[in-house]
Chains A and B, each alone.
Chain A
């Protein structure tokens, strides 16, 4: 018999027994007078009897509330998990980091300014060749730059506005992008400048809400996407087939990042439900999740070893989570930073965390000591996207001020 039905049967039986007992108790003619009403005998009208009566009536009246019990069980387990996680917190990261040398003054300047977008820059990605960049903007334009020379090499106009996601293929021969069109499309990059890129466009991913992020796996043949529809998905580029979907976020998923391991098959995502989740690409299961931010998580990025990741949020903090310790291990924040962090990335060694913020600045954090080592001014509107180059020689920031800047 189905467990729900079982529960119902038991409840009905209980009611029957209870009601019968109450009935017998009340109708014991030797102890009560029907004319004066029930429970006239002092023996029957004690608080204890009233208690029992109320209890029995309540039990009989209660509907099958498995949802409530399950909810409580879930909450209890969650609390227990937090306790377990806290037990191994014997020291703070910044305390252990006291023994290493402090970083000196940094001289980071804008080394290149890429101008050409006619509207807010929303996303950028580096090519593996360490100098090319693809960027997308609110007016539907996707531009491929040789950032070293600042030349524009390709430009595509998407049919939709707000192209929130773009990615460079590992081969350097294609770019993927999407946004309000709920799709992720791949454009092969042609060496022939006269060729119309838009004609060769290939629609790969289909979501039921905006595309917030996309990323090629270690190959041109697969793309990982995240969407406002609350899911992430892995797609086969050639056929457009969905290879795996990832469900678990309770609201829009805003960002994702692939683990840097050669052997791993995991990625991390962050969303408007304030949760960041680590997923197994093979099974589609969430293997770990963290919920310590106070607001939307706009950006997640793995620490270079793959053992940890950082997240940037609308709560104006960036946080570091270690997968082995299974908890948040550092918070990067300052009283003077009151606007959200939109985008984060690590320097090559993982010592520095660069954060682009909605107050137009970039804050550079010492990951281990937890302090801010530098604040960079230059953009004239929100910094919406930030990526470190593949060899770590520079990082690029894109902003609502229509420009991209290379910093080194």
Chain B
């Protein structure tokens, strides 16, 4: 076992006990990035006409992954990706771009103020956005000109809020006044942070909106008491209540009935027979090993993987009535493989018919079919199967143990889809131990198995382009 794997696994185990949400982890990372002693150096950069305060650059973005105990395990591309996600969620932002990504190209970034962090459960209204855009138009135009999409949004909002516009305008003026009073450097920083906040909540068209939630989860949000606070202190009467904020229902206390059911369940579970892990592991390993030749991700299919070569020969071969050698070999893995494959079933049936012992398989197939019929057809089919296979004097009489027979006789009186379940199970076990092993040993099966081998051999040497090598060789 590689040391890395061990650490990974130990790390996993440890994390299980210290599980935190992605938000908690990201905020922890930000905390560490901002740490005065061990975090990323933040400085003021001199640009052509002015200074750019409070920024950090990303040459050496393993800093981003302060969350990892050993960043060497994480390739650069992954580190950049995670950093981009953190930017997209609004924890830091490029100072001169609306698009929130992390790049390793010397761009400068600034941290977002905790006030605007996602954990504060912001869901800013359009009225707030309107105030913001309006305010922007009042300020020094050269520096804060609206982008095209922002101008479009502003126009749209002006139409939507036509009646309230005077109020919105007043709020914008008030905000602009407050901003003017601030220190120049402070203003620069706060303006950029405010802009980044809106980049998260009103992203550039085409950018991911990280505030979108899965509707299945939103109705059970962990913060049922989210305050719909306004960014600019607008009154409640402008806001509407969101239907997605119904508080999560209190977890129901189990009733006495339910508790008794639970106790019965746990008792039944305790009585269950369990296998040792070592046995189970061996079983998983051997199954995987047996099928690895059939797994296109592990062994290149013959002649080719249609998705890679654009050649559908593989599928055409499988659709044909002539089963290939690999396919025939698979039937030897177990009776389920034969029963699963329509051609396998056909061959198995043919073999049993030649021995005049096909009634078991036919019964099994008939019962499978019964379970697939609409419920309306079930009673009739049950009768038919009974007549054919089980009734006294049945033309294709099968042998089931007396217990199953009695049970089935009862079931047939009130026929449901599972009327023959016990009988079917018995017959399956019989087929598995008897008919199936005879089939695999039969000359019919062996011929099928051998017949294609020669052909395949020729194919191999004929086609140097597709040598039957295992796909996962390190080239």
Contact = CB atoms under 8 A, between A and B. Distances in A.
Interface in A85-121: 85, 88-98, 100, 103-106, 108, 111-112
B208 A254 contact: no
B81 A359 contact: yes
B277 A263 contact: no
6 contacts: A67-B256, A236-B374, A304-B287, A307-B283, A331-B16, A336-B79
A103 to B, nearest CB: 5
B343 to A, nearest CB: 14
Contact of A350 (B15, B288, B375): B288
Interface stretch (A48-56, A184-192, A374-382): A374-382
B304 to A, nearest CB: 10
Nearest to B26: A338
A381 B208 contact: yes
Given A81-B270, A106-B297, A333 B15 contact: yes
Given A74-B266, A81-B266, A103-B472, A294 B16 contact: yes
Contact of A88 (B9, B69, B276, B305): B276
B259 interface: yes
Contacts of B151: none
Interface string B360-378: 0000000010011111100
B269 A288 contact: yes
Nearest to B281: A96
Interface in A309-342: 314-317, 322, 324-327, 329, 331-336, 338-340
A303 interface: yes
Contacts of A358: 22
A111 B308 CA distance: 7
Contacts of A256: none
Interface string B282-296: 111101111110111
B284 A93 contact: yes
Interface stretch (B166-174, B213-221, B434-442): B213-221
Contacts of A336: 65, 67-68, 73-74, 78-79, 82
B318 A391 contact: yes
A371 B5 contact: yes
A33 interface: no
Interface string B80-118: 011001000000000000000000000000000000000
B277 A88 contact: yes
Interface residues of B, number: 100
A28 interface: no
Nearest to B69: A335
A57 interface: no
B280 A377 contact: no
6 smallest beta-carbon distances between A and B, as pairs:
A219-B372, A77-B266, A349-B295, A238-B374, A349-B291, A96-B281
Nearest to A273: B251
B307 A92 contact: no
Contact of A349 (B215, B278, B292): B292
A335 B68 contact: yes
A115 B374 CA distance: 36
B307 A349 contact: no
Interface of A: 66-67, 70-71, 73-74, 77-78, 80-81, 84-85, 88-98, 100, 103-106, 108, 111-112, 130-131, 148, 162, 164, 180, 210, 212, 217-222, 228, 236-239, 241, 243, 250-252, 254, 261-263, 272, 282, 286, 288-289, 294-296, 303-305, 307-308, 314-317, 322, 324-327, 329, 331-336, 338-340, 347-352, 358-361, 367-371, 375, 377, 380-381, 391-394, 400-401, 406, 408
A304 to B, nearest CB: 7
B376 A238 contact: yes
B260 interface: yes
Contacts of B232: none
B248 to A, nearest CB: 10
B265 interface: yes
Given A90-B278, A262-B340, A339-B85, 5 more contacts: A93-B277, A94-B9, A112-B307, A164-B216, A282-B418
A335 B15 contact: yes
Contacts of B216: 164, 210, 212, 228, 252, 254
Given A148-B312, A331-B13, A392 B296 contact: yes
B461 interface: no
Contacts of A131: 306, 315
Interface in B341-392: 368, 371-376
Contacts of A406: 307
A111 B99 CA distance: 28
A87 B5 CA distance: 25
Nearest to B219: A228
B280 A324 contact: yes
Interface of B: 1-2, 5, 8-9, 11-13, 15-16, 19, 21-22, 25-26, 65, 67-69, 73-74, 77-79, 81-82, 85, 208, 212, 215-217, 220, 251-254, 256, 259-260, 262-263, 265-267, 269-270, 272, 274-285, 287-292, 294-298, 301, 305-308, 312, 314-315, 318, 336, 339-340, 368, 371-376, 417-418, 421, 424-425, 428, 472-475
B166 to A, nearest CB: 36
A348 B291 contact: yes
A244 to B, nearest CB: 10
Contact of B292 (A81, A329, A351): A351
Contacts of A148: 306-307, 312
B291 A100 contact: no
Contacts of A408: 296-297, 305, 307-308
B301 A393 contact: yes
Contacts of B65: 336
B73 to A, nearest CB: 8
Nearest to A80: B270
Contacts of A367: 284, 288
Contacts of A368: 284-285, 288
Contacts of A315: 19
Nearest to B207: A380
Contacts of B372: 217-222
A91 B283 contact: no
Contacts of B315: 130-131, 391
A277 B217 CA distance: 20
A348 B1 CA distance: 25
B307 A74 contact: no
A100 B287 CA distance: 13
A229 to B, nearest CB: 12
A379 to B, nearest CB: 10
A316 B22 contact: yes
B263 A100 contact: no
B277 A92 contact: yes
Contacts of A401: 208
Contacts of B220: 251-252, 272
Given A252-B220, A336-B68, A371-B5, A70 B281 contact: no
B25 A392 contact: no
B70 to A, nearest CB: 9
Contact of B263 (A74, A251, A261, A304): A74
A228 B217 CA distance: 10
Nearest to B340: A262
A97 B78 contact: no
A171 to B, nearest CB: 10
A112 B306 CA distance: 12
Contacts of A180: 215
Question: Which of B2, B288, B297, B472 has the largest number of chain A CB atoms within 10 A?
Answer: B297
Given A94-B1, A338-B25, A347-B298, A317 B12 contact: yes
A336 B85 CA distance: 12
Contacts of B282: 96
Contacts of A331: 12-13, 16
B278 A239 contact: no
Contacts of B69: 335
